[in-house]
Amino acid sequence: MSGETQNETNHAAAVEGGGGGGGRARLPDFLQSVNLKYVKLGYHYLITHLLTLCLIPIMVVIAVEIAQTNPDEIKQLWLHLQYNLVSVIICSAFLVFGSTVYIMTRPRTVYLVDYACYRPPERLRVRFNQFMEHSRLTGDFDESSLEFQRKILVRSGLGEETYVPEAMHYLPPRPSMAAARDEAEQVMFGALDTLFENSSIKPKDIGILVVNCSLFNPTPSLSAMIVNKYKLRGNIRSFNLGGMGCSAGVIAVDLARDLLQVHGGTYAVVVSTENITQNWYFGNKKSMLIPNCLFRVGGAAVLLSNKSGDRRRAKYKLVHVVRTHRGSDDKAFHCVYQEQDDAGKVGVSLSKDLMAIAGGALKTNITTLGPLVLPISEQLLFFATLVGKKFFNAKIKPYIPDFNLAFDHFCIHAGGRAVIDELEKNLQLTPMHVEASRMTLHRFGNTSSSSIWYELAYTEAKGRVRKGHRIWQIAFGSGFKCNSAVWQALRNVKPSNKSPWEDCIDRYPVQLSS
């Protein structure tokens, strides 16, 4: 194998991931791991309920002391309070005033009332053999590039039912501004129509609109297209986020949350999508061919509210948003980069260092998120390991917190098989935890910033979201960014009407090739 071919294969493996294997665990090792698991659960329970376990004996002692107190002493105390009525009234007034100030200044709770994911029509499906034959017939790719794309497709984790835009189904393809607008309208309006139908919210009730699409930013903007289509009110606060990559969906939610803290009693709609029509790459640079194989049509619309009355019907409440930006580092800044190749053809280049950079961004993100969500038992273990490594033995491995104790469900951006593999390994997750991400990648491909909503819809369709469960949405994007959103279920959540999984959920999970 030539050096160039070997480098291309390594690049694809770095971005897309590869198979791996390991030996079968011996029975004594398995039993030991089970014992350690229960020891850890016991430790976690003890630390979590330590305050309660300490307070119970103290309360028992106080109760016994009160029971042994002379009734005359209790009577004298009551008379003393009656004679100091003014002091009692002043203390009560301060208590009421303080409570009022706290209630008026505390952050508003943001509720996720409902959301909808766009399901493209069946005519836009593309099978692997169709993809390859179409690429060959366009005449834009040499044999080396065609073989490279075939290898990427085989190990990508995508299935045979993903969708590409209508302009890419023609021979030759017909990318144009008009076709890109058509794709944007189909996706955004399709998701919004379903959202308005399911939530019974009138478009005129929307006070805030945030749209994110990284690569297609026409004038008038995508948000203006929505305002025009649904005749939204004239004083709506609309925003259009561009160039922010696959993690922009979390950024859009964060912006909507901040706006909902300022503007009371209103609804916010977040629309997350990507546009492929004008961003298909027709050249032969390997690092720029990978997006052709991974990115597919998709989008989501999310309805948020700060009205306390919506708590009864909302699915989730927003608990945390943590954003990490590594753009100050040159390698991170250039690892997902839109540029022209030597022939002047525009595409998005993915660096072979992408996974290493994503791992660093993830580490920074969870360092901030961990103290907000992890139980004190895990934080103590992490701190103890850090101290031991610093002062006693530099060879001590850093302790990886058990995020299973903080979250019940994980929605990892379906950027590619390598992304999911890396997080599964680094966060020590089980196949069940990453099932939603793998199945979303298989069924819909990489739908960019909307993929985390297809994953949540999968988890709901499986009937796994119960009241009180916490969901961690985590996404990566150009810049380079790693962003997290944490939601808590307010009830046992059922899938909404017209879920993207409603006619195929019984077929999943499917067995994926290694």
Q: Which of 312, 246, 299 is nearest to 269 (CA)?
A: 299
Does residue 446 have an active-site annotation?
A: yes
At 389-438, the pLDDT tens digits run 667 766 667 667 788 889 999 999 999 998 999 899 888 899 999 999 99
The tokens of 207 are what?
A: 């006070």
pLDDT score of 13 more than 60: no
Residue (of 412, 409, 410, 406) closest to 476 by Cα position: 412
246 is catalytic: yes
Q: Does 60 reside within a domain? A: no
Residue 407 lies in a domain: yes
Among 7-21, 74-88, 303-317, 450-464, name the one with the lowest average pLDDT.
Answer: 7-21
**Active-site residue flag, 325:** yes
Q: Is residue 70 part of a domain?
A: no
For this structure, is 442 an active site residue?
yes
CB-count burial class (<10 Å; 0-12, 13-18, 19+) for 341: middle
- Domain assignment of residue 412, yes or no: yes
pLDDT at 428: 87
Closest CA to 458 of 423, 513, 509, 406: 509
Cα R_g (the chain), whole angstroms: 27
Print burial letters for 291-317: b (CB count within 10 Å at least 16), e (below 16): bbbbbbbbbbbbbbbbbeebeeebbbb
Q: Which residue has the tokens 């189909």?
A: 186
Q: How many other β-carbons are positioned within 10 Å of the β-carbon of residue 346?
A: 16
Do the beta carbons of residue 357 and residue 379 sit within 8 Å? no
Judge whether 84 lies within some domain: no
Q: Is 97 inside a domain boundary?
A: no
> Is the Cβ–Cβ distance between 458 and 439 less than 8 Å?
yes
Catalytic site residue from 11, 240, 293, 325: 325
Task: Give the count of alpha carbons within 13 A of 372, CB side only.
Answer: 15
Given the residues 335, 446, 482, 483, the one annotated as active site: 446
Rounded Cα–Cα distance for residues 214 and 448 (Å): 9
For the chain, the average pLDDT equals 86
State what percent of residues in the chain have pLDDT above 70: 81
Q: How confident is the model at residue 78 (pLDDT cuts 50, 70, 90)?
A: low
What pLDDT was estimated at residue 379?
78
Q: Is the pLDDT of residue 20 over 70?
A: no
* Number of domains making up the chain: 1
Residue 470: which region, alpha, beta or left (left: phi > 0; alpha: psi -120 to 50)?
beta
User: Which structural domain, as residue segments, surrounds residue 308?
Assistant: 110-377+398-507
Kindly state whether residue 428 falls inside one of the protein's structural domains: yes
Taking a C-beta distance cutoff of 8 angstroms, is the pair 210, 269 a contact?
Answer: yes
Give the single-character DSSP code of 446.
Answer: B
pLDDT at position 62 over 50: yes
Catalytic residue among 442, 469, 482, 483: 442
For residue 386, being part of any structural domain is answered with: no
Q: Which of 311, 304, 298 is nearest to 453 (CA)?
A: 298
Active-site hit among 117, 213, 246, 293: 246
The CATH code of the domain that includes 201 is 3.40.47.10
Catalytic residue among 284, 335, 409, 482: 409
Helix, strand or coil, per DSSP, at residue 477: strand
